Structure 1
Amino acid sequence: MAFVDRKLNYPTKMSNPKQMNYPTKMNNPKQTNYPAKMNNPKQTNSQVLFREVQKISQIWVWLIIAIPVVFSWYGAYQQLLLGKPFGNNPAPDWMMFLLLLVFGVLFPVFFYYIKLVTEVRNDGIYVRFYPFHRSFKRFPFESIQNYKALTYNPIRDYGGWGIRYGLKGNAYNMAGNRGVLLEFTDGNKMKKLMIGSQIPEKLAEAIRKANEK
C-alpha cells in the first residue's frame, strides 16, 4: 500500500462514499486550453482542500531496484576493499567506484524521492509527478466536463504505472488500480486523464465540494 499524506477540509465526513453518483458533470464547462502549467503555485491564493502524496511502496518494485544496488556494492567491496578483481573482465578501480556511486547510491535515492502529489484547491485540480514535473499542472474546474472515481486495469488500459499514455487517454499513477478519471476540454478536443489515488472517493468528493463553492 502506498504512503498517503492527505489534508482534508470537509464540513462533514462521508458515511458511505459508494452512494455518490458518478460520473458528475461540472457546472458551466467552457472550452479552454488546459491543463495550465503553474510556474510558482505557492504564489497563488488558492486554498488546498485535499492533498494526497503517493510514493513507491510495492515490495516487488523495491526488490527489482535492489538487484543493481546489491551487485554494485558487492563488486566494490570485493575489488576496492579486498583487492580481488570482480568478474572475468574486471573494470578499473575508478570505474568500479563510479558504478558504485551511480547504481549503489544515486539509483535508489532517485526512486525513493519519486512521488505523485495531487491537490484539490478552490480554483482547480493540481497534479505533480516529482521529479519529472518541475511544477504543478493545473486543471481548472471550468475545463472539466466530467469526473468519476473508478477501478481500472493499469497495464491493460495505460501500459503500467508512472506517467503513461494509452488508447484511453493519459494517466498519472503510482500504485494500485483505483483513481479518478477526468474528462476535460483542450481547445476543441475532449481529453481524458486518469489520476491514480488510494482514496479516489475522497478525491472525487473534494472535487465536488470545491466546484460548488
Structure 2
Amino acid sequence: MSSQVLFKEVQKISQIWVWLIIAIPVVLSWYGAYQQLLLGKPFGNNPAPDWMMLLLLLVFGVLFPVYFHYIKMVTEVRKDGLYVRFYPFHRSFKRFPFEIIQNYEVLTYNPIRDYGGWGIRHGFKGNAYNMAGNRGVLFEFADGKKVKKLMIGSQIPEKLSEAIRKAIEK
C-alpha cells in the first residue's frame, strides 16, 4: 500500500430511505426499553424479560445503527492499479492491476435489474461494488481465457475514469 494515491472516493450510506428502514428497529427497541425498563409497563402481548429488553436495546438500538454508519466503500486509483475496499466486509483493499484491464467505460445502469441491488453484488451482467446511485465505471478484466466484468459504482465516475486513463498512460 505504499503506492501513491492518484484518486480517492469514499462513499457511505446516504440514501434517506435506507436510514428510514434502519430507524424502524432502532425506534422500536428504544420505545420498548423505555416502556418496560423505565415506566415498568410490559412491552407487547408476550413481553420479554428485562435482561432481554436491555440486550435488544443494545443490539438494535445501538450496535445496529452504528454498524450501518461505518459501512463505506473506498475506491482508489494508485500508480500500480485500481483498489476497492468495501468496509467492513473486505479486510483489505482488492487490487486490480492495470495490466489486466482490457476496457473500461462510464455507464448509467440499473442496480436492481443488472446486479440485484447495492453492495457487493453478483448479477446477470457481472459483479458490482456499489453504494448508491446508478452511475459507475464498468471494467472488463482479462483473466486467462475469460473476460470478467466489474461495475464500480461512483458518484463521480468521469473523474474515476480520467484517473484510470492518466495512471495507465504513465
Structure 2 unpaired stretches of 5+: none
State yes or no: 1:111 paired with 2:68.
yes
Q: Percent identity?
A: 88
1:72 aligns with 2:20: no
| Deviation at residue 188 of structure 1 after TM alignment | 2.4
Structure 2 residue aligned with 1:16:
none
Report the residue type matching 1:89 in the other structure: N
1-side partners of 2:142 and 2:86: how far apart? 21
Deviation digits for residues 87-136 of structure 1, max 9, x if unmatched?
A: 01000000000000000000000000000000000100000000000000
Runs of 4+ that moved beyond 6 A = none
1:187 maps to 2:147: no
Q: Which amino acid aligns with 1:196?
A: G
Which structure shows the bigger proportion of residues in strand conformation?
2
Aligned to 2:159: 202
Amino acid at match of 2:92: S
Query: Higher helix share goes to which structure?
Result: 2
Structure 1 length normalisation: TM-score?
Answer: 0.79
1:14 alignment partner in structure 2: none
Amino acid at match of 2:93: F
Report the residue type matching 1:135 in the other structure.
S
Q: How many residues align?
A: 170
Cα-Cα RMSD: 0.6
Gaps of 5+ in 1: 1-40
Q: Which has the higher contact order (CA 8 A, sep 6+)?
A: 1
Aligned to 1:20: none
Task: After TM superposition, give the deviation of residue 187 of structure 1 in Å.
Answer: 2.8
Q: Which residue of 1 aligns with 2:95?
A: 138
Q: Does 1:153 align with 2:110?
A: yes
